[in-house]
Structure 1
Amino acid sequence: MKRNVLLYKGIPEQALQKLQAHFNVTYFDGINDNNKSAFLSALAETEGLIGASVKMDAEILEHAPKLKAASTISVGTDQYNLPYLAQRNIPLMHTPNVLNETTADTLFTLIMCTARRAVEMANMVREGRWTSSISEAHFGTDIHGKTLGIIGMGRIGYAIAKRAHLGFDMKIQYSNRSRKEEAEKDFNASYMDMASLLKTSDFVCVMTPLTPQTERLIGKNEFAMMKKSAIFINGSRGKVIDESALIDALTQGTIKAAGLDVFEVEPLPADSPLCKLDNAVVFPHIGSATAETRFNMVMCAVDNLINALNGDISKNCANKDLLK
């Protein structure tokens, strides 16, 4: 007899067919005020959950007494309360690795766009303000040969370091909970404390997960440590930085510029000062947003749920260490 699974995000037909081959699938196209009541009712018989971009807190999951596994179509797990799931012995599966290279491409695009003022200069052309040869007032900053400091040398951090060192001859230094010998061997990366990294890096790229320990990790004091010529890149989670402190740093010239793919509130409000600053390049959280990678993420999440409900959480379980 097939188990009941609840899908709360639209997925490609191929992935849906694979889910339906293994489970009885109930589908919700996102959760909103109009369907939330029906969603909560459907949770009563649900043994598996799969989806993304919806907060699945304890208040919601209390309606799912039969839940055996959840699978998020993301590498980030902040939509779920991991200790709560562990208390109920429910594994949360996620999709690391499949998006590493694509997200690293996005973050390095931010580095390049910000350093060369690409968005600002493109807008100048579009708006008809390019009326003479480019002057010093419009010069950008070199990337090659500079120092890149990475806070959080995980899989994506490593992929960014690879592009920077091998492609742009950049010096790599990093701050992390533990040493990453592979990065040190492959890219001659230097391991150091965060304060030293902030003071000496030309580019600072934050790639840490959002945890109680990393929330507001970068604020007024940290921006003040950076070089005035430093460019700050955030591809982790918006709440890892103090956004108002960043706005102040950009406005006051504490740092040169910032490139951001994530924000405290998403979508970023149109009246945010970040939208008006020429020295801020803002992307709409497109880190993994290519057709190929998003498809691979969905298929990975489907396989994760199939494996978990069959008792195999050996691969891609985000809270494995917390389970009983």
Structure 2
Amino acid sequence: MEFITHVKNINGFKKIGGVNRMKDLISSPQNIVVIGDMYVSTDVMVESLEKSKINCGKITQLFWGDYDKTHFAENQQNLENHGSDAAPIAEGLEEAIVDADIVMTHFSPIPKYIIEKGKNLKLILTSRGGVEHINVKEASNHNIPVFNVIRNAEPVADFALGLMLDITRNITLSDKFIRNGQWMHEYYNTGQIKLFNGHLVGLVGIGNVGAAIARRLNALGVSIIAYDSFVSEERLAQQGLGFIKKVETMEDVFKKADIVSLHLRLTPETEGIINEDYFKLMKKTAYFINTARGGLIDEDALITSLQKGYFKGAALDVVKKEPIPSDSPLIKMDNVLLTSHIAGMSEDAVPKSPFLLMAELDRYFETGVTNRIVNEKDLEA
């Protein structure tokens, strides 16, 4: 097949089930199951596959859910909070997975029993960054790579920057007061407002989103420190991020930064990781930003810390329970800016995400190098 001529480093593919299985993806026709939904169509998925280096054989198209945004949001929330068993699978998936070599999904869950039925599965593709809807552990048990794509790093980075500017300069708060008939010049942080580039921003996590926000901050002349145990200074330099000063511990970020911005993935190990101990370390004039996941935060500790004045304010696009309960103390705090989990929303990012996904996979075919195999460390060579 002509596809083989494009693969320059085929012997480098050690983490995707072995060289022979990797060759299969491009040298022989693959049975593929695509599962679209109301936001990512199966037509786009099929087109992205057919334009990729994958040797497409039979493609089975399935649809997950319905076209009700409320239902979708409920299923999304359940999957993000409780994993791949928390929402129904796509109709027909249980039958289609039996002879599938590849499955591509957006948000449709791929639970343990589906992976067990996929005796021929070589690759699971998802056109989003989060993988809570996939039982990654079971995929690893069967030596099946789970390949994702960061489709929304740029819009989330834009949004995080907007939250930083808003919370430090009282933009939304001033609008709120004006609409309530109050022309205010005194705010909770009056006397502590400074130029944006006078802040030291601390990033917890330097993945795709963290890197994107760092580039924006650097362009504005903002100094940046960051903690990420998986990213070396050498790698930062290779990515053109040498302007970031790495610190030794997460505690260092909370102690030193004027603005702490959270960019971690939610896993069983990171759930509730940001607790009162961290908030107590913050400067009393500092701000906390979360555009990642609400589950990363001990929310009771966050509320208590704000009430006790451990730090100045918070801007949150995500909370532990969404929609946020109407009786949440966070709603009543002037020093808390809340948005409804919209940081990643962009008109073009989600519908076109399968093309971004396949571009990443094609680059892997070309180079043998990727950071998009989420379970790489758990796969056999």
Superposition TM-score tier, normalisation by shorter sequence = 0.7 to 0.9
How many Å apart are 1:233 and its aligned residue?
0.8
SS in 1 for 2:348: helix
For the pair 1:180 / 2:233, whether they are aligned, the reply is: yes
Q: How does 1:225-304 map to 2 (within 5 A)?
A: 225-302=281-358
TM-score, reference length from structure 2: 0.72
Cα deviation for residue 256 of structure 1 reads 1.5
Output the CA distance in 2 between the equivalents of 1:126 and 1:40.
53
Aligned to 1:135: 186
- The structure 2 residue matched to 1:6, chosen from 26, 30, 34, is 34
- Paired residues in the alignment total 319
Q: Note the residue ranges of structure 2 that are not aligned, 5 or more in a row.
A: 1-28, 51-55, 67-74, 76-86
Q: Distance in 2 between matches of 1:254 and 1:42?
A: 54
Identity %: 26
Shift in alpha-carbon separation, 1:286–1:200, aligned structure 2, 3 A: same
Q: Tell me, what secondary structure is at the counterpart of 1:291?
A: coil
Kindly provide the amino acid, as one letter, of the partner of residue 44 in structure 2. Answer: A
Contact 1:267–1:284 (8 Å) recurs in 2: yes
* Distance of 1:70 and 1:259 partners within structure 2: 35
Query: Partner of 1:148 in structure 2?
Result: 201
1:26 aligns with 2:77: no
How far residue 53 of structure 1 moved from its aligned partner, in angstroms, is: 3.4
Between stretches 16-25 and 66-75, larger displacement belongs to 16-25
- Cα separation, 2, equivalents of 1:58 and 1:296: 28
Partner of 1:254, secondary structure, is coil
User: Is 1:50–1:305's contact at 8 Å kept on the other side of the alignment?
Assistant: no
Deviations 1:231-281 (CA, angstroms, capped at 9, x unpaired): 001122222221221122223322211112233234444443333332222
Give the whole-Å Cα distance in 1 for the aligned partners of 2:244 and 2:315. Answer: 25
Partner Cα distance (1:281, 1:223) in 2: 17
**TM-score, normalised via structure 1 length:** 0.83
CA distance, structure 2, for counterparts of residue 122 and residue 235 of structure 1: 22
Partner-residue secondary structure (3-state), 1:187:
coil
Tell me, what secondary structure is at the counterpart of 1:61?
A: helix
Distance (whole Å) between structure 2 residues aligned to residue 39 and residue 92 of structure 1: 17
Structure 1 counterpart of 2:94, from 40, 44, 51: 40
Report the 3-state secondary structure (helix = DSSP H, G, I; strand = E; otherwise coil) of the residue aligned with 1:287: coil
CA deviations over 1:7-63 (Å, ceiling 9, x no partner):
142325761451585442322133878876644344444433222334433144334
Aligned partner of 2:145 in structure 1 is: 91
> Compared with structure 1, are the counterparts of its residues 203 and 64 closer, same or farther at alpha carbon in structure 2 (3 Å cutoff)?
same
Question: Partner of 1:57 in structure 2?
Answer: 111
2:21 aligned residue: none
What is the aligned partner in structure 1 of residue 222 from structure 2?
170
Answer yes or no: is 1:109 the counterpart of 2:162: yes
Q: 1:194, CA displacement in angstroms?
A: 1.9
Q: Return 5+ residue gaps in structure 1 as ranges.
A: none
Question: CA–CA distance in 2 between the matches of 1:311 and 1:85?
Answer: 24
CA distance in 2, matches of 1:218, 1:91: 30
Q: CA RMSD in A?
A: 3.3
Moved more, 51-60 or 198-207: 51-60
The 1:17–1:245 alpha-carbon spacing in structure 2 relative to 1, beyond 3 Å, is same
Judged with a 3 Å threshold, the aligned counterparts in structure 2 of structure 1 residues 281 and 311 are, in CA distance, closer, same or farther, namely same
Instruction: Name the SS for the 2:340 alignment partner.
Output: coil
**Deviations along 1:264-303, whole A, 9 cap, x unmatched?**
2344444433333322222232333212322442322355
Is the 8 Å Cα contact of residues 282 and 311 (structure 2) preserved in structure 1? yes
SS at match of 2:224: strand
What CA deviation, in whole Å up to 9, does each residue of 1:101-157 have, x standing for no partner?
322111111111211222222222233x23x45235574733221111111122322
Instruction: Give how far 1:88 is off.
Output: 0.8
Provide the rounded CA distance (Å) in 2 between the counterparts of 1:194 and 1:119: 30
Q: Output the CA distance in 2 between the equivalents of 1:105 and 1:57.
A: 33
Whole-angstrom distance in 2 between the partners of 1:34 and 1:212 = 22
- Given that 1:69 and 1:305 are in contact with CA atoms closer than 8 Å, whether structure 2 keeps it comes out as no
